[in-house]
Amino acid sequence: MLAVERRSWPSPGAKERVIRERLGISPTRYYQLLNALLDDPRALAHDAVTVNRLRRVRDARRARR
């Protein structure tokens, strides 16, 4: 999942297509699992840059609500 988040996506829908084809899950389920993964210390240890970036994005979205 972190590898998917690390990439930049050339067009709308490309990321969702990869999620369905490579991971075999719906984008909705992917984002549920990703959100839980961001709170896992092992994910932070594995790829701190990506996890911290995604945490900032998540926190900003929560603050806007």
Band of residue 41 on the pLDDT scale cut at 50, 70, 90: very high
Classify residue 7 by its DSSP letter.
S
Burial class for 64, CB neighbours closer than 10 Å (0-12, 13-18, 19+): exposed
> Does residue 65 surpass a pLDDT of 90?
no
pLDDT recorded at residue 51: 98
pLDDT recorded at residue 12: 81
What value does the mean pLDDT take over residues 20-41?
Answer: 96
pTM above 0.85, yes or no: yes
Q: Pick from 36, 49, 45, 40: which is nearest to 5 by CA?
A: 49
